[in-house]
Chains A and B, each alone.
Chain A
Amino acid sequence: MSVQVAFSTAGRILRQLRHDRRTIALILVVPTVLLTLLRFMFDAQPAMFDRVALVMLGVFPFTMMFLLTSVAMLRERTSGTLERLLTTPIGRLDILLGYGIAFAAAAAVQAAVVSALAYWLLGLDTVGSPWLVGLIVVGNAVLGMALGLFVSAFARSEFQAVQFMPAVVLPQVLLCGLFVPREQMVGWLQAISDVLPMSYAVEALTEVGTHPAATPRMWRDLVIIVGAAVIALMLGAATLRRRSP
C-alpha cells in the first residue's frame, strides 16, 4: 500500500470527472433544484422543511456517489483498465483508497454548495452546527461510494449498474424514518431498518437538527456509518481479484 499512489489515483479520478463538465453540473445543480422545490412545497410549514431538507442533504450525496462510483468502476472493469492496473505495482487497497479520497472530495464540494444554499437562501434552520451536518454528509457520501464500488462487481453492463441504484438506495430511503418514524414500523420492518446504514445517517442528522451540541448518539451513528463503509470497501476489495477465470 502506498499513500502516494492512492493520491495519484484519486487525482486521476478527479481529472476524469473534470473533463466531464455536464456531470459536474448535474452533481451541483440537481440537489440544488430539488431542495428549492422542497422549500416551496413546504412554504407554509418551515419546521417540516427543516426536517425533510436536512435528511435530503444526506440522501443526495449518498445516491449520487453510489451511482458515480458504480458506473466508474464498471467502466474500469469493462475497458480493461482495471486488469491493466492489476498488472502494475499498484495495491488493491490503493485503488479503493483512491476512489474513496476522490469521491469524498467531490462529496465535500457538493455538500458545501448545497448546504450553503440551504442555510443562506432557503432558510434551513438546524439547532446544531452546520459543520456537523457537513461531516455526516461526507461520511454518508463515502458510504454510498463504498456500496457502489462493491455492487459494480455484480453488474455486467451500465444498464445493470444503474438498476442497482433503486434496488440498494430506495429501500434505505423508504425505511430510514423519513416517511414513517422507525418506532412506529411493525417489528420485522424495523428490524430491516435497523440493519440499513441510511437509518443511522438520518438519525445522526436529526440529532444535529434538534440538539445544540454533538450528542453521544450522533457520534455512535457516525461510527456505524463509517464502519459500514469500511465493511463495504473490504467486500469491494474481495471483488478485485488479480487472477480471474
Chain B
Amino acid sequence: MDSAIEVDGLVVDRGGRRVLHGLDFAVRRGSVTGLLGPNGSGKTTLMRCIVGVQKVRAGTVTVLGEPAGAPDLRRRIGYVTQAPSVYADLTVRENARYFASLYRLSRTTAEEAVRDVGLEAVADHLVTALSGGERARASLACALLSRPELLVLDEPTVGQDPVVRRDLWQRFHALAEAGTTLLVSSHVLDEAGRCDRLLLIRDGRLIADDTPDAVRSAAGTSDLETAFLRMVLAGDGQDQQSREAV
C-alpha cells in the first residue's frame, strides 16, 4: 500500500455547522501535496483530522496504515500549526531541545534542526524577539527534528521572504525524495506549482484532486491563479443557480 493518507467519506461539524462535507481522497507516500482553498474552506480542519486532534462526525481517516490519532502515529507525524506554536518565552534552542526531549532525541538533533531552518544565528534569542517569518521557521524546526514520515504543514511559508520561501520548498522536496510525505496548505498560488499534486477545497468540498498541469489544462489557462479563480467562481455560480432554482 503506497498511500500515506486515505480519507473516506469524511464529515466534520464544528459549532453546529458542517465544515467538511464527505471528503474522499488519497495522498501518495513520498510526495508533496498542496492543499489549497479560500479562507474558511476547511483546510485547517482537514489537517486537524489527519493529525488526529479533530472530532469527526463520520467517515474514516487512515494515516500510514493506522486510524488517525492512533498513539503509535504520534512518533511518525509532524504537525506545524498556522500560528507558530512554540514557546514565545523560550529561546529557539530551548524550544528545539524541549521538543527533542519529547521524542527522546539528543541535543545534537535539536541543534541540527535549528541549523536546517537557518536559525543558528538567532538560536539563543527568545522567540518573542524574532520576526514573524523566523518564528514560523522555529516552529517548523520543532516538527522536523523527529524526522517524521508524514509532515502536515499549515501555511508554513506565510510571512517568509522569497529567498526563504524558495529554500523551504527546496527542503520540502529534498525531504520528499528521502521518502517523507508532505501535506502543505497554502493560499500563495505561485507555490502551488511546486507541488506534485494539488487538492483544492471550497466550502468543505473537494473541487480538484490532480497534478498542477492537469488543473491548468482543465481550467483552460496556463496560469494557476486564474485556474483557481475560475474553479472557485464556477462553484459559486452553481450555488447561485441552485439557490435561484429553489
Contact = CB atoms under 8 A, between A and B. Distances in A.
Interface of A: 4-5, 8-9, 11-12, 15-16, 19-20, 79-81, 83-90, 242-245
A12 B53 contact: no
A81 B85 CA distance: 5
A80 B85 contact: yes
Given A243-B52, A245-B55, A87 B87 contact: no
Nearest to A12: B98
B113 to A, nearest CB: 14
Contacts of B26: none
A79 B84 CA distance: 8
A202 to B, nearest CB: 34
A45 B168 CA distance: 70
A8 B14 contact: no
Contacts of A15: 90, 94
B54 interface: yes
B172 interface: no
B53 A83 contact: yes
A87 B90 contact: no
B74 interface: yes
A46 B81 CA distance: 58
Contacts of A85: 102
Contact-size category for B: 20 to 34
Given A89-B75, A90-B102, A83 B85 contact: yes
A20 B74 contact: no
Contacts of A244: 53-55
A242 B69 contact: yes
A79 B101 contact: no
11 contacts: A12-B87, A15-B90, A79-B88, A80-B81, A87-B52, A87-B53, A87-B74, A88-B99, A89-B75, A89-B103, A244-B53
Contacts of B146: 88
Contact of B69 (A5, A8, A84, A243): A243
Contact of B51 (A79, A80, A81, A87): A87
B64 to A, nearest CB: 14
Contact of A8 (B15, B52, B74, B98): B98
A81 B13 CA distance: 23
Contacts of A4: 101, 104
Given A79-B88, A81-B87, A89-B103, A245 B14 contact: yes
Interface string B79-100: 1010101111111001000110
A20 B69 contact: no
A243 B55 contact: yes
Contacts of A80: 81, 83, 85
Contacts of B54: 243-244
A97 to B, nearest CB: 14
B94 A12 contact: yes
Contacts of B91: 19
Nearest to A88: B102
A86 B77 CA distance: 12
B53 A79 contact: no
A80 B99 CA distance: 14
A12 B97 CA distance: 9
Contacts of A243: 52-55, 69
A239 to B, nearest CB: 15
Interface centre among A9, A11, A81 (most CB of B within 10 A): A81
B126 interface: yes
Contacts of A5: 101-102, 104
A9 B100 CA distance: 11
A88 to B, nearest CB: 5
A234 B183 CA distance: 36
Nearest to A79: B85
Given A16-B90, A243-B69, A244-B54, A84 B85 contact: yes
A123 to B, nearest CB: 39
Interface centre among A19, A84, A88 (most CB of B within 10 A): A84
B74 A19 contact: no
A210 B138 CA distance: 55
A3 B88 CA distance: 25
Given A79-B87, A244-B53, 15 more contacts: A8-B101, A12-B90, A15-B90, A16-B89, A19-B89, A83-B81, A85-B102, A88-B146, A89-B71, A242-B53, A243-B52, A243-B55, A243-B69, A244-B54, A245-B15
